[in-house]
């Protein structure tokens, strides 16, 4: 039996209509959307399916929407006979996607996870009001040189997405200074990101502290499926570690490339990306192009899976 890892995308993949086909034909997926509507009580499903985009991308909707659409796709896959042909050894998600991964592992219920994501989004948004932050994606630039520039300017690394793509974060003026130094040093692809703050940086410390208090009251179960943490690219073995890592994740660098490499070293030969878009498949080509990545974004993707 193949050893497979389930991986889930993070913020930025949202689009109007995501998950609609699952909602229409799969009772398990419809139940997830209905549960989300009850918990959020803000017409989440209608916004996901119909927009407008300005509302879907807002703080109150975006993170809960991506989680809900991803878990609906997951439940549809789990209800399909093809899911019985694989052994899921690991699951992981990019930033926000780690919450979908925790649901997939059985560590936290969907309802509790959705409530956590609501709080996370609100705390992070409030932290952005405290100081003006910024982020930028740096592509194809020497990693050691980039870290040196970060240290010199006081900027931090938000994401190690692949060996070629690293996202920097911090005070807006410091990020601007770092971008200038990167370009002087020969960096040709530096893309400022349209975000409201410096996510995955110490500027989010107030959000992390508040979130840690919320996590104390969440029920977390042990599970046979290991969730690889964004914080250290290692499996989270117990409830207390999961709590600590979820709080730390708000300020820590996302170790996505190292997480993928850990799972491959652990015997995974195929990945299934579940949720909107194919961002993680694109990153995988830059991390290790020899592994297979399947995508589940709509029901037809499950039917065509060659597992």
Exposure b/e, 204-220, CB count within 10 A at least 16 = b: bebbbebbeebbeebeb
- Pairing between strand 226-227 and 189-192? unpaired
Identify whether 95 is a catalytic site residue: yes
Sheet holding 270-274, edge to edge: 226-227, 87-93, 3-8, 270-274, 292-296
Q: Is the dihedral of CA 62, 65, 71, 76 positive or negative?
A: negative
Identify whether 200 is a catalytic site residue: yes
Residue 226 to residue 217: CA distance in whole angstroms? 22
| Burial of residue 147 (number of CB atoms within 10 Å: 0-12, 13-18, 19+) | middle
Catalytic one among 76, 95, 201, 259?
95
Catalytic one among 100, 162, 171, 200?
200
Q: Is the dihedral of CA 167, 172, 176, 181 positive or negative?
A: negative
Place of tokens 């109007």: 16
Query: Which positions are catalytic?
Result: 95, 200
């Amino acid at each position: 039996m193949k050893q497979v890892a389930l991986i889930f995308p993070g913020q930025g993949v949202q689009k109007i209509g995501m998950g609609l086909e699952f909602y229409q034909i799969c009772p398990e997926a419809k139940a997830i959307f209905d549960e989300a509507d009850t918990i959020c009580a803000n017409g989440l499903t209608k916004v996901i399916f119909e927009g407008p985009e300005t509302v879907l991308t807002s703080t109150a909707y975006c993170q809960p929407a991506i989680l809900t659409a991803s878990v609906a796709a997951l439940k549809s896959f789990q209800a399909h006979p093809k899911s019985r042909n694989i052994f899921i050894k690991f699951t992981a998600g990019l930033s926000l996607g780690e919450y979908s991964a925790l649901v997939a592992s059985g560590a936290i219920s969907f309802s509790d996870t959705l409530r956590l994501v609501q709080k996370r989004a609100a705390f992070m948004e409030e932290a952005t009001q405290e100081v003006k932050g910024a982020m930028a994606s740096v592509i194809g630039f020497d990693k050691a040189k980039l870290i040196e520039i970060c240290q010199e300017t006081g900027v931090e690394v938000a994401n190690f997405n692949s060996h070629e793509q690293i996202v920097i974060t911090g005070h807006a003026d410091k990020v601007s200074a770092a971008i200038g130094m990167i370009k002087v040093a020969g960096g040709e692809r530096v893309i400022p990101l349209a975000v409201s703050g410096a996510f995955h940086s110490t500027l989010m410390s107030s959000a992390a502290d508040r979130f840690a208090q919320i996590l104390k009251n969440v029920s977390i179960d042990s599970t046979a499926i290991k969730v690889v943490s964004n914080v250290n690219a290692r499996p989270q073995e117990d409830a207390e570690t999961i709590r600590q890592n979820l709080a730390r994740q708000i300020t820590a660098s996302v170790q996505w490339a190292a997480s993928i490499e850990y799972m491959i070293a652990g015997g995974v030969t195929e990945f299934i990306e579940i949720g909107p878009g194919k961002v993680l498949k694109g990153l995988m080509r830059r991390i290790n192009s020899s592994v297979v990545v399947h995508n589940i974004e709509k029901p037809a993707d499950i039917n065509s899976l060659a597992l």
